């Protein structure tokens, strides 16, 4: 891959390669866009098979955070990091401290948090070397695990999507099929169960299935069955790319609203479900609760204030549908438009010189 061509095509600012022989650290930090503020996004630890796979992933995820943060109304830019390694085998204090020192070297242009394969305990180790890390243990005045807050945001966004589809945002009596009942979806299921929804769940991890069945009276189905079950709402909370040529013909739901990142395999699949009349809550809008929560730490963490901001996901979903209807486009495109317009207008408003270090000269 020609990295500079790709960076130029999507206007990336910076890609940082980090190597530390002692700890075995091989990491890449991507800063996509800092028009709105410092780049904030989690660190993914994954056993990438090739370096190219890791580079493609960090670039794609970093750009996704720019859109997520902008659409959420945060004064935060987009970035992400990946550590190449197996999270079950290759974690050590030495490795996370070495990584923390690289983050410190960026002097606040990039701020990290949890993502797939990393935990609060890992953030605590990074925090030994840098303050530019969020999602650290609450004992340090930080916000801890973002997953329950992500789940709350998905719950609020799902209610908004239900209002658009059914004319009422009540989820009582609705049948909701949840794919993957891990950290986020377990907490989501709790909210849905408390409101009186009927749950159908699946997971490749039987323990997680059993937990949802026992705690919330969920009905369990096989991993391939979940797409075609009779339900009102399908909630993808496991993997990306699950809205695709194979699954679309199976869907019986009227709404798709879940936590997973990058749910559309390709943009055309967003157009297809739009044409079928499904209400689709764009992934990066509905799952922004976690980043909204960790971003609050930059003002001195206040959980009440963070949750209030997470509540706005409800209105954001409604707003995206207003744009989609106004401009005659699918909801995923309307979300992109909303994020891009906000970034462009802030960039325009910063075209005069100010002696306070806040002016960002982008172009
Ligand atoms: N944790 C957060 O705060 C957060 C924030 C934004 C987005 N997300 C996204 O939400 C999704 C869930 O995140 P999480 O933190 O709950 O992760 P998790 O790993 O705790 O949960 C994912 C669950 O999906 C299951 N799973 C994997 N493959 C599956 C398959 N083929 N069929 C059924 N189940 C399968 C796993 O066994 C696991 O239980 C991810 O896509 C993540 O990127 C998470
Ligand atoms: C900053 C993190 C809490 C972000 C989360 N990993 C996400 O994908 O939104």
| Whether 199 contacts 192, CB under 8 Å | yes
Residues 210 and 324 in one domain: yes
* Residue that is last in its domain, among 106, 136, 166: 136
Is 185 marked as a binding-site residue? yes
pLDDT computed for residue 128 by the predictor: 98
| Total Cβ atoms within 10 A of residue 315 | 13
Task: Output the tens digit of pLDDT for each of the chain's 363 residues.
Answer: 899 999 999 999 999 999 999 999 999 999 999 999 999 999 999 999 999 999 999 999 999 999 999 999 999 999 999 999 999 999 999 999 999 999 999 999 999 999 999 999 999 999 999 999 999 999 999 999 999 999 999 999 999 999 999 999 999 999 999 999 999 999 999 999 999 999 999 999 999 999 999 999 999 999 999 999 999 999 999 988 999 999 999 999 999 999 999 999 999 999 999 999 999 999 999 999 999 999 999 999 999 999 999 999 999 999 999 999 999 999 999 999 999 999 999 998 877 777 665 555 554
Residues 159 and 37 in one domain: no
* Site to substitute for ligand 2 among 133, 237, 291, 339, most atoms within 8 A of C-beta: 291
At residue 349, what are phi and psi to the nearest 5 degrees? -75, -10
- Centre of ligand 2 to C-alpha 66, Å, is 12
Q: What is the DSSP string of 231-255?
A: -SEEEE-S-SS-BSTTTGGG---SE
Residues 153 and 265 in one domain: yes
Residues 215 and 100 in one domain: no
- The verdict on residue 292 lying in a domain is yes
- Centre of ligand 2 to C-alpha 173, Å, is 31
Helix (H, G, I), strand (E, B) or coil at 30: strand
pLDDT computed for residue 115 by the predictor: 95
Cβ of 205 below 6 Å from ligand 1: yes
Residues 45 and 82 in one domain: yes
User: Based on the structure, what is the number of domains in the chain?
Assistant: 2
Alpha helices in the chain (DSSP H): 3-9, 51-71, 93-105, 120-127, 147-166, 183-195, 206-216, 267-275, 283-286, 289-295, 303-327, 331-349
pLDDT computed for residue 238 by the predictor: 95
Residues 116 and 217 in one domain: no
pLDDT computed for residue 353 by the predictor: 72
* Residue that is last in its domain, among 110, 136, 162: 136
pLDDT computed for residue 349 by the predictor: 86
- Centre of ligand 2 to C-alpha 288, Å, is 7
Residues 104 and 160 in one domain: no
pLDDT computed for residue 123 by the predictor: 98
- The verdict on residue 270 lying in a domain is yes
| Whether 235 contacts 184, CB under 8 Å | no
Residues 260 and 288 in one domain: yes
- The verdict on residue 359 lying in a domain is no
Bridge partners of 133?
Answer: 112
- The verdict on residue 352 lying in a domain is no
Distance CA 97, CA 195 (A): 43
- DSSP letter for 133, please: B
Residues 122 and 236 in one domain: no
Nearest ligand 1 atom to the CA of 146 is: 3
Closest by CA position to 228, among listed 179, 279, 271, 174 = 179
213-237 residues labelled b (16+ CB within 10 A) or e (exposed): eeebebebbeeeebbbbebbbbbbb
Residues 34 and 179 in one domain: no
Distance CA 151, CA 258 (A): 9
49 burial (CB, 10 Å; 0-12 / 13-18 / 19+) is: exposed
Question: What's the domain range around 266?
Answer: 147-338
- The verdict on residue 105 lying in a domain is yes
pLDDT computed for residue 228 by the predictor: 97
Nearest ligand 1 atom to the CA of 205 is: 37
- The verdict on residue 349 lying in a domain is no
Please report, for the domain that includes residue 83, its CATH number.
3.40.50.10860
| Sheet of 198-202, strands arranged across | 219-220, 198-202, 175-179, 233-236, 255-256, 279-280
Helix (H, G, I), strand (E, B) or coil at 121: helix
Is 182 marked as a binding-site residue? yes
- Whole-structure pTM value: 0.95
Report the Cα–Cα distance between both ends of the chain, in Å, rounded: 26
- The verdict on residue 356 lying in a domain is no
Helix (H, G, I), strand (E, B) or coil at 74: coil
Residues 213 and 109 in one domain: no
Is 255 marked as a binding-site residue? no
Closest by CA position to 62, among listed 46, 84, 82, 85 = 82
Distance CA 336, CA 339 (A): 5
Residues 219 and 331 in one domain: yes
**ipTM exceeding 0.90, yes/no:** yes
| Whether 127 contacts 96, CB under 8 Å | no
The contacts of residue 132 (CB under 8 Å, 6+ apart) are 38, 103, 104, 106, 108, 110, 111, 112
Please report, for the domain that includes residue 300, its CATH number.
3.40.50.720
- The verdict on residue 204 lying in a domain is yes
């Amino acid at each position: 891959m020609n990295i500079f061509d790709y960076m130029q095509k999507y206007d990336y600012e910076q890609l940082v390669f980090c190597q530390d022989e002692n700890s075995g650290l091989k990491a890449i930090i991507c800063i996509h866009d800092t028009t709105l503020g410092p780049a904030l996004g989690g660190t993914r630890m994954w056993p990438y098979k090739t370096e190219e796979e890791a580079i493609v992933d960090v670039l794609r995820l970093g750009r996704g955070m720019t859109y997520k943060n902008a659409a959420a109304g945060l004064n935060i830019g987009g970035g992400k990091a990946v550590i190449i390694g197996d999270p079950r085998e290759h974690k050590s204090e030495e490795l996370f401290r070495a990584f923390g020192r690289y983050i410190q070297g960026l002097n606040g242009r990039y701020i990290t948090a949890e993502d797939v394969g990393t935990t609060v305990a890992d953030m605590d180790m990074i925090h030994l070397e840098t303050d530019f890390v969020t999602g650290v243990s609450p004992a340090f005045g930080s916000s801890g695990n973002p997953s329950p807050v992500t789940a709350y945001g998905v719950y609020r966004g799902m209610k908004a999507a239900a209002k658009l589809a059914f004319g009422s945002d009540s989820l009582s009596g609705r049948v909701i099929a949840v794919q993957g009942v891990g950290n986020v979806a377990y907490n989501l299921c709790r909210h849905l169960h408390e409101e009186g929804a009927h749950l159908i769940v699946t997971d490749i991890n039987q323990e997680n299935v059993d937990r949802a069945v026992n705690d919330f009276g969920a009905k369990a189905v096989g991993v391939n069955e979940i797409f075609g079950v009779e339900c009102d709402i399908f909630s993808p909370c496991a993997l990306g790319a699950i809205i695709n040529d194979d699954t679309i013909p199976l869907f019986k739901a009227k709404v798709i609203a879940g936590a997973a990142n990058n749910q559309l395999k390709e943009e055309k699949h967003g157009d297809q479900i739009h044409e079928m009349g499904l209400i689709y809550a764009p992934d990066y809008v509905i799952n922004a609760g976690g980043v909204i929560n960790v971003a609050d730490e930059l003002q001195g963490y206040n959980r009440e204030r963070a949750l209030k901001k997470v509540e706005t996901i409800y209105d954001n979903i409604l707003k995206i549908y207003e744009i989609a209807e106004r401009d005659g486009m699918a909801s995923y495109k309307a979300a992109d438009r909303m994020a891009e317009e906000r970034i462009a207008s802030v960039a325009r408003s910063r075209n005069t010189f100010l002696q306070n270090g806040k002016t960002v000269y982008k172009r």
